[in-house]
Amino acid sequence: MSEWIHPGLIFILGALLIPLFERISRKIRNVYMIALPVMALIDLLFMSYGEYWRVPFLNYELIFGRVDALSMVFAYVFVIASLCMTIYALHVSESGHHIAAFLYVGATLGVVFAGDLITLYIFWEIMAFSSLALIWYRGTKRAHEAGFRYILWHLFGGMFLLAGIILHIMSFPGQEGIAFDAFAWGLGHSFIPSYLILLGFILNAAVPPLHAWLSDAYPEATVAGAVFLTAFTTKSAIYVLLRGFSGVEILIWLGAIMAIYGIIFAVLENDIRRLLAYSIISQGGYMVAGVGMGVLGTKVGEIAVNGAIAHAFCCVLYMALLFMAAGAVLEVTGKSKLTELGGLYRFMPRTFWLYMIGAFSISGFPLFSGFVSKTMVVEAAAHGHEIVWLLLECAAIGTFLVVGLKLPYFTFFSGVKCEAREPPKNMLFAMGIVAFLCVFIGIFPQFLYGMLPYAVHYEPYAPGHVISTCEMLIFTFLAFWMLRENLRPEQKITLDTDWLFRLAGRKFIWFCEQPLITFAEIIDGALRKIADFFAWLANNPAVASRMLVALTGAIVFKPFNPLNEKYERDLNELKRVYSDEVVHRMGIGTGVLLVLIFFTLYLFIYLSYGVLWR
C-alpha cells in the first residue's frame, strides 16, 4: 500500500484544500490547482502493474488499485484532460465549483482503478453527485431543473447497479462475488445480476433510450462544468463495459443505433452545446459497438477493443476542445443558439480555428486524432457486420455535416451578426494544448497505439483508406454547400425520449396533488366519523344498547351504511331522545356485562378457529 499512491486520492484530498489557498491568494490557488493534475500525471508515469491498497471489509477484501494496461490508458487520458480543463477553468472564482470538478475527476479515477464491485459502486455514486454540482452552479432555473432530472436518472441507474452487485455477491460466495471481472452472459443462474449491472453501465454510457439525461443536462451546466462533464461519465462507462461485457453481441447493435440516433438529433438542434451533446452520444456509439465486437482471442475482436479504447482516448480530447470553443462563445456573447449567432469569425478567429481542429478530429480527417481511432472500429465492423459498418459510416458523414460544417458556418459566418471578443487567455491556452494533442496523435498514432492492451496490426494511413475517406468528406462538403439554406437552423424545440418521462412525471405529480389527496381526505373523514362513533358508544353503553334495538329494523330492511346521511339523522335523533341517559350514565354493572359478552364472543371465535384449522 505504501508503495503506491492512488491518483484519485490526489484529486479528492487536494480538492478539500482549495478554499485554504483561495484565502491566501487567487494566483496561489490557481498554481495549486494546476499542480494537482501534474502530480497525478507524474504518479501515473512511475506506476507499475499490479494490485494495491487491498483493504479488509467484512468477509471480503476491497481492491482500490488494480493497475493494468486497460486502466492505465483511461487514467492517462483522464488526468491529461483534467489538466487542460483546470487551466480552462482558472478564471472561475467559486471555489466550490473547482472542488466539485476535482471530486468528479478523483471519483472517476477511483472507478478506473477499482478491483472489486463494492469499490466501484462507491466511486460511481460520488461521481454522480459531484458532477451534479457542475450543473447547479450555473444558478439558472433551467440548470436547477435539468440537474434534478440528471441526478434522478443516475440514482435510477445506481439502483440497478447496486441490485445487480448484491445478487452477484449472493450468487458467488467469497471474494469471487465482489470481483470486478468479465461477467457471465446468457441464460443461467447468474444472468439476472449481469443484466442489472449492464443496465446500470449503459445508462451512464447514454445508450438510447437511456440517454436523455446527457442532452438535457450538459447544455445547462456552467461553461467550465460542461467541459468536465464531456469526458468522465460516459467514458468511464465505456471502461467498465470493456472490463465486464466485452464481446456481448447486443452491444454491437446498441452502439450502431446510438451512433445514428445521436447524429440525427444533432442535425435538428439549434443550441450549439446541445448539438455537441448529441454528438457525444453518437461518438459513444462507436465505442459501444467496439465493445460488443470485442470477442477476445480473435484478431477482429482485438482490433475492435483497441479501437474502442483508442476512440475513447481521442473523444475525451476533441469533445473537450469542441465544448471549450462552444463555451468560449457562450462566455463572451451570452448566447448559445445558432439562430442568435453569426459573423463571429471577425472577432474570434483563434477560437474558430481551434474549434475546427476539434471538428476535423471528430469528423475523421486524416492527420487528426479521430481518423486513427474511429476507423479501427469501422474496420472491425467491416468483417462480418456489414449493416453495422454501413450505419457507422453514415454516422461519420452526419458528424462532419453537423459538427464540421453546420455549426461553424452558422456560428462564425452566416446568420445574425454578433459582436464579441476572444475569451480569456487561460481558455485559449487550454484549447491550444488540447488542439496540439489532437494533431499530434493524428500524425503520430503509434504514441497512442503503444498504450493499447493488444498489439496493433492496423495501418490507418493505407492509401486506399485515405483516398476513400477524403472522397467521403469532399462529397459531404459539396452536399452541404448546395443545401446549406435547407439546413439553416430554426427556433424550435426538439422532443426526445425525455419528453415521455417528463409527461409521466407531470401526470404523477397531478395524481398525487389532486385525486390521491382527495381520496385521502375522504378516507380520513370516514375514519374520523367511525372513531367518533365508537368513542361515543364507549362513553354511553346504555344508550348504545337501546340504539341497536331501535335500528334493528333499518339494518334488516336496508343496507347498513354508517356514513350515509339517513343514518346520521337517525343517530342524532336517538342522541336527542336519550339525552338524559347521556347525562345520567347507567351503573357499572351493565358495562361489566357488555365486557363479559365481548370476551365470550371472542373466546367462541378463537375456539372455533382452532377446531376448524387443527
- What gap in Å lies between CA 83 and CA 70, rounded to an integer? 21
Q: Which domain holds residue 552?
A: 531-612
Residue 522 forms part of a structural domain: no
C-alpha cell at 159: 439502483
Please tell me whether the overall predicted TM-score, pTM, comes out greater than 0.85 for this model: no
Task: State whether 306 and 204 are in the same domain.
Answer: no
Q: How big is the CA angle at 214 (ends 211 and 219), to the nearest 5 degrees?
A: 150
**Would you state the pLDDT for residue 485?**
87
**3-class state of residue 61 by DSSP:** strand
C-alpha cell at 162: 447496486
Contact 12, 106 (CB under 8 A): yes
Query: Quick one: pLDDT band at residue 592, thresholds 50, 70, 90?
Result: low
**Which residues on adjacent β-strands are paired with residue 455?**
none
pLDDT digits (tens, 9 = 90+) for 40-57: 999 999 999 999 989 998
Task: State whether 536 and 425 are in the same domain.
Answer: no
- What gap in Å lies between CA 407 and CA 488, rounded to an integer? 10
Residue 518 forms part of a structural domain: no
Task: State whether 277 and 185 are in the same domain.
Answer: no
Residue 521 forms part of a structural domain: no
**Would you state the pLDDT for residue 522?**
83
Task: State whether 175 and 291 are in the same domain.
Answer: no
**Would you state the pLDDT for residue 298?**
84
Phi first, then psi: give them for residue 25, nearest 5 degrees: -165, 145
Query: Quick one: pLDDT band at residue 595, thresholds 50, 70, 90?
Result: low
* Confidence check: pLDDT of 316 > 90: yes
**Would you state the pLDDT for residue 324?**
97
Residue 555 forms part of a structural domain: yes
DSSP 8-state symbol, 502 = H
Range of lowest pLDDT (234-238, 475-479, 538-542): 538-542
Task: State whether 443 and 592 are in the same domain.
Answer: no
For range 546-565, the mean pLDDT:
53
Task: Write down which residue in 244, 277, 298 finishes a domain.
Answer: 244
* Confidence check: pLDDT of 237 > 90: yes
Residue 250 forms part of a structural domain: yes
* Confidence check: pLDDT of 8 > 50: yes
C-alpha cell at 316: 475525451
* Confidence check: pLDDT of 502 > 80: no
Task: State whether 177 and 297 are in the same domain.
Answer: no
Contact 308, 286 (CB under 8 A): yes
DSSP secondary structure string for all residues of 395-409:
HHHHHIIIIIIIHHH
Look at 182 and 113; give whichever has higher pLDDT. Answer: 113
Phi first, then psi: give them for residue 55, nearest 5 degrees: -115, 125
Query: Quick one: pLDDT band at residue 111, thresholds 50, 70, 90?
Result: very high
- What gap in Å lies between CA 77 and CA 570, rounded to an integer? 82
For range 337-362, the mean pLDDT:
94
- Burial (0-12, 13-18, 19+ Cβ within 10 Å), 225: buried
For range 149-167, the mean pLDDT:
94
Contact 550, 574 (CB under 8 A): yes
* Confidence check: pLDDT of 612 > 50: no
Task: State whether 239 and 260 are in the same domain.
Answer: no
C-alpha cell at 333: 456573447
Residue 220 forms part of a structural domain: yes
* Confidence check: pLDDT of 590 > 60: no
For range 544-568, the mean pLDDT:
54
- What gap in Å lies between CA 404 and CA 409, rounded to an integer? 9
Query: Quick one: pLDDT band at residue 109, thresholds 50, 70, 90?
Result: very high
Residue 166 forms part of a structural domain: yes
DSSP secondary structure string for all residues of 186-225:
SSSTTHHHHHHHHHHHHHHTT-TTS-HHHHHHGGGS-HHH
For range 553-558, the mean pLDDT:
49
**Would you state the pLDDT for residue 171?**
86
Task: State whether 369 and 412 are in the same domain.
Answer: yes
Length of the chain: 614
- What gap in Å lies between CA 310 and CA 446, rounded to an integer? 11
Q: Which of 127, 98, 135, 103 is nearest to 21 (CA)?
A: 98
The secondary structure element, H or E, covering residue 51 is strand 50-57
C-alpha cell at 548: 341497536
* Confidence check: pLDDT of 582 > 60: no
Contact 51, 115 (CB under 8 A): yes
Q: Kindly report the average pLDDT of the chain as a whole number.
A: 86
Query: Quick one: pLDDT band at residue 589, thresholds 50, 70, 90?
Result: low
C-alpha cell at 294: 470485442
**Would you state the pLDDT for residue 205?**
95
**Would you state the pLDDT for residue 573?**
56
- What gap in Å lies between CA 4 and CA 44, rounded to an integer? 10
- What gap in Å lies between CA 334 and CA 346, rounded to an integer? 17
Q: Report how far apart, in Å, the C-alpha atoms of 31 and of each of 20, 36, 342, 428, 547 are.
A: 13, 9, 36, 18, 88
Query: Quick one: pLDDT band at residue 497, thresholds 50, 70, 90?
Result: confident
- What gap in Å lies between CA 163 and CA 160, rounded to an integer? 5
* Confidence check: pLDDT of 560 > 50: no
Residue 358 forms part of a structural domain: yes
C-alpha cell at 297: 482471442
**Would you state the pLDDT for residue 187?**
64
* Confidence check: pLDDT of 304 > 80: yes
For range 145-153, the mean pLDDT:
93
* Confidence check: pLDDT of 140 > 90: yes
**Would you state the pLDDT for residue 507?**
75
Task: Write down which residue in 456, 480, 513 finishes a domain.
Answer: 513
C-alpha cell at 486: 435547407
Task: State whether 574 and 499 are in the same domain.
Answer: no
- Rg of the chain over Cα atoms, rounded to whole angstroms, equals 33
* Confidence check: pLDDT of 404 > 80: yes
C-alpha cell at 389: 459498418
* Confidence check: pLDDT of 151 > 90: yes
Contact 361, 225 (CB under 8 A): no
- What gap in Å lies between CA 537 and CA 394, rounded to an integer? 80
C-alpha cell at 240: 467498465
Q: Which of 119, 139, 188, 198 is nearest to 163 (CA)?
A: 198
Contact 134, 97 (CB under 8 A): yes
Sole residue written with cell 375522504: 522
For range 251-279, the mean pLDDT:
95
- What gap in Å lies between CA 566 and CA 555, rounded to an integer? 12
Contact 151, 129 (CB under 8 A): yes
Task: State whether 402 and 284 are in the same domain.
Answer: yes
Q: Which of 189, 169, 165, 185 is nearest to 177 (CA)?
A: 169
AA letter at 575: K
Range of lowest pLDDT (160-174, 448-462, 583-597): 583-597
Task: State whether 436 and 323 are in the same domain.
Answer: yes
Sole residue written with cell 346521511: 565
For range 499-516, the mean pLDDT:
73
The whole-angstrom distance between residue 522's C-alpha and the CA centroid of its chain comes to 41
* Cis amide bond preceding 209, omega within 30: yes
For range 363-390, the mean pLDDT:
92
Q: Count structural domains, the chain.
A: 3
Query: Quick one: pLDDT band at residue 613, thresholds 50, 70, 90?
Result: very low
Task: State whether 229 and 274 are in the same domain.
Answer: no
**Would you state the pLDDT for residue 578?**
46
* Confidence check: pLDDT of 580 > 50: no
Share of the chain above pLDDT 90, in %: 64
Share of the chain above pLDDT 70, in %: 85
pLDDT digits (tens, 9 = 90+) for 528-541: 877 777 676 666 66
The runs of H, that is alpha helices, within 46-183 are 69-88, 95-112, 117-136, 141-171
Contact 244, 201 (CB under 8 A): yes
For range 1-15, the mean pLDDT:
86
C-alpha cell at 471: 472522397
For range 408-417, the mean pLDDT:
86
AA letter at 419: E
Task: Write down which residue in 244, 277, 312 finishes a domain.
Answer: 244
Contact 355, 327 (CB under 8 A): no
The whole-angstrom distance between residue 515's C-alpha and the CA centroid of its chain comes to 33
- What gap in Å lies between CA 480 and CA 317, rounded to an integer? 26
Q: Which of 46, 484, 585 is nearest to 267 (CA)?
A: 484
Query: Quick one: pLDDT band at residue 203, thresholds 50, 70, 90?
Result: very high
